[in-house]
Amino acid sequence: MKLYSFLILGICFLGACSPKISKQAESKSSNVLRIMSYNLHHCNPPSKEKEGLIDIDAIAKAIAQQKPDLVALQEVDVNTKRSGTINQAVLLATKLKMNFYFGKAIDHDGGDYGVAILSRFPLSAQQTFMLPKNNDAKAEQRVLAIATAEIAKGVFIRFASTHLDAQRPEDNRILQAKEINRLAAKETLPLIVAGDLNADPSSESIKIFDSNFTRTCSDCGFTIPVINPRKTIDHIGFKTGNPFKIISHEVIPERYASDHLPVVAVLELKK
């Protein structure tokens, strides 16, 4: 496994490729999908934040326990000094035997920082879109990473991971939600978008998102902080009119690995 991981790291030194790690994933055929969204806090458990501990295994375990088909990850480090110059996207994909795509948002601490997709299915047509922001010096570049997943032989969907602006004023999140809607309008395949939108369901940016997407919950559970959570800012949604049926939506009470609780939705792609 160490040699295999080393080879993948060598091939994927830019952090944005998607090797076919799982042969089992390629043969999976089902119209029921388990979708997960998880802000990783760069794999630094909040209780160990001062120590700077990076616990990849805790994140991998939290994901593995849910047996997801597609995962949207946020706050992913690739070769940053704070994370020990490791490629978190590659390591998680290798440990979970999933395919992956990393979407870089910014340079950070000697490496890259952004969002990622994990998939039990083959991925293709991967793209990273820069989302708009205002001229505020504190405004951090945010992205939408998207890929095509072949969920059964000849059956394709588009899956995206994103992480919207975190500033208190909502200006950038509104701009970014509008841009996601604009990008979604161009998609012809069924589309799922998941991520940390940094906005609760009553916010203007979520109302904009909801104008083009159907979120997987109406009375959504809180996702942050992990202890006594009181805000819902992590969301999963599909393009309204796409042939998905919502089976379930759940906030997972995993309180150690990250400062966000993971979210899992089960969707059925209607034939």
pLDDT at 20: 55
Domain annotation covers residue 58: yes
Q: Single out the residue of 218, 179, 213 nearest to residue 202, CA to CA.
A: 218
DSSP 61-129: HHHHTT--SEEEEEEEEES-GGGTS-BHHHHHHHHHT-EEEEEEEEEETTEEEEEEEEESS-EEEEEEE
Q: Using one digit for the tens of pLDDT, what is the confidence trace for 102-116?
A: 999 999 999 999 999
Q: How many Å apart are CA 96 and CA 106, to the nearest integer?
A: 26
The three-point CA angle 15-16-19 to 5° equals 100
Helix (H) or strand (E) holding 179: helix 171-185
pLDDT at 11: 41
The CA-atom distances, in angstroms, between 118 and each of 195, 237, 254 are 13, 17, 19
Those residues of the chain that have pLDDT short of 50 are: 1-15, 23-29
pLDDT at 91: 98
- Residue 211 CB burial class (10 angstroms; 0-12, 13-18, ≥19): exposed
pTM: 0.91
Q: Using one digit for the tens of pLDDT, what is the confidence trace for 176-197?
A: 999 999 999 999 999 999 999 9
Q: Using one digit for the tens of pLDDT, what is the confidence trace for 192-239?
A: 999 999 999 999 999 999 999 999 999 999 999 999 999 999 999 999
Domain annotation covers residue 81: yes
Contacts of 105 (CB under 8 A, 6+ apart): 113, 114, 115, 140, 141, 142, 143, 163
3-class SS at 152?
strand
Domain annotation covers residue 90: yes
Q: What is the CATH number of the domain that holds 200?
A: 3.60.10.10
Domain annotation covers residue 22: no
Structure letter (DSSP) for residue 14: T
pLDDT at 75: 98
Domain annotation covers residue 111: yes
φ, ψ at 106 (rounded to 5°): -145, 160
**Residue carrying structure tokens 């588009």:** 158
What percent of the chain shows pLDDT beyond 90? 86
pLDDT at 110: 96
Check: CB of residue 256 under 8 Å from CB of residue 247: no
**Structural domain total, the chain:** 1
Domain annotation covers residue 173: yes
User: In this structure, how many other beta carbons lie within 10 angstroms of the beta carbon of residue 191?
Assistant: 21
Range of 248's domain? 2-6+31-269
pLDDT at 38: 98
pLDDT at 18: 56
Domain annotation covers residue 169: yes
Q: How many Å apart are CA 106 and CA 111, to the nearest integer?
A: 9
Q: How many Å apart are CA 249 and CA 236, to the nearest integer?
A: 9
Domain annotation covers residue 11: no
pLDDT at 163: 98
